[in-house]
Amino acid sequence: MDFSDEYRKILWWLLIATRGGEKRIEIIKILRKNPENLYKLSEDLNVNYRTAEHHVKVLLNNNIIKRMGNGYGSVYFLSDYYDKHFDIIEEIIKNYK
Which has the minimum average pLDDT: 3-7, 52-56, 59-63, 76-80? 3-7
DSSP three-state, residue 64: coil
Q: What is the pLDDT of residue 3?
A: 53
Query: Which CATH number fits the domain that encloses residue 86?
Result: 1.10.10.10
φ, ψ (nearest 5 deg) of residue 19: -60, -35
Q: Which domain holds residue 23?
A: 3-96
How many angstroms separate the CA atoms of 3 and 47, rounded?
Answer: 34
Per-residue pLDDT tens digits for 63-85: 899 999 988 889 999 998 888 87
The pLDDT-based confidence of 1 (bands split at 50, 70, 90) is very low
Domain count, the chain: 1
Determine the pLDDT at residue 34: 95
